[in-house]
Amino acid sequence: MSKTPQQIALMAESGRLLASVFGYLDRLDLLGMSTLQVNDLVDNYIVDELKARPASKGQYGFAYAMNTSRNEVVCHGVPSADDILRDGDLVNFDITLEKNGYIADSSKTYLIGKVSDQARQLAEVTYEAMCKGIEAVKPGARLGDIGHAIERHARAHRYSVVREYCGHGIGREMHEPPEVLHWGKAGTGLTLREGMTFTIEPMLNRGTADVRTLRDGWTVVTRDGQLSAQFEHTVAVTREGVRVLTLRPEELHLSRISA
């Protein structure tokens, strides 16, 4: 379950490359693009520019380089030529990248055009909730501390936390132990130790936490049709605390806790 410093260095390189994919997305004018167009651009960028592998492609039979989850889609959205990014949309891009045998996993919710105050606040609080979870990571802390920090922040803003999906260990495989729940009781669960690597990826809903899966077998949506947002980073437990392996250049506040 724990990784050596050399293995974490390889994961950090995958994470650095993955962060650059989001930098690439940040420079695109997403308004009016289909989610399939975005997927194809990301696929080509990872393969041609970064000489890496989009790890989601082919995983569990999934045919694409990324998940594209728009508005009421909670997670696992499937890229489509008919799914057009329109003014006011929220869309989460969830991308995994493998380089030198190690995988990094990260996602970011984008605001398309002029979004409502409600949508913007949901995205902001979801990001903050992920950060609260990351800040709880250190040797000797418990997995429940992470979930508790996330859930407390979400509830303070009257959002619900999706419980059917969670973070996970990661390394040579996309999904490794342990499961990292985004709710929980402080002081409970597995004790964290140096070298552990896992994702923190809360999904927050404006309405209830209830979700359902569409007939395609992939797309998960809010049962009440209200908005959902998600952010995700891959982290490593260090001797001093936590290192965010997929840190993006603009995240200076996280770099201060990432050792």
Residues annotated as binding site for a divalent metal cation?
A: 94, 105, 168, 201, 232
Closest by CA position to 181, among listed 202, 209, 196, 159: 202
Q: Is 213 helix (H, G, I), strand (E, B) or coil?
A: strand
Torsional sign, CA 75, 146, 193, 21 = positive
Q: How many CB atoms lie within 10 A of CB 249?
A: 11
Helix runs in 73-158, H state only: 117-135, 143-156
Annotated binding-site residue numbers for substrate: 76, 175
The angle at the Cα of 81, spanning 77 to 82, to the nearest 5 degrees, equals 80
CA–CA distance, 242 with 141 (Å, rounded to integer): 11
Annotated binding-site residue numbers: 76, 94, 105, 168, 175, 201, 232
Q: How many CB atoms lie within 10 A of CB 29?
A: 8
Closest by CA position to 131, among listed 3, 242, 13, 10: 242
Backbone angles phi, psi at 147, to 5 degrees: -60, -40
The alpha-carbon radius of gyration of the chain (Å, integer) is 17
Take residue 32 and report the two structure tokens written for it.
């009016």
The residue type at 245: L
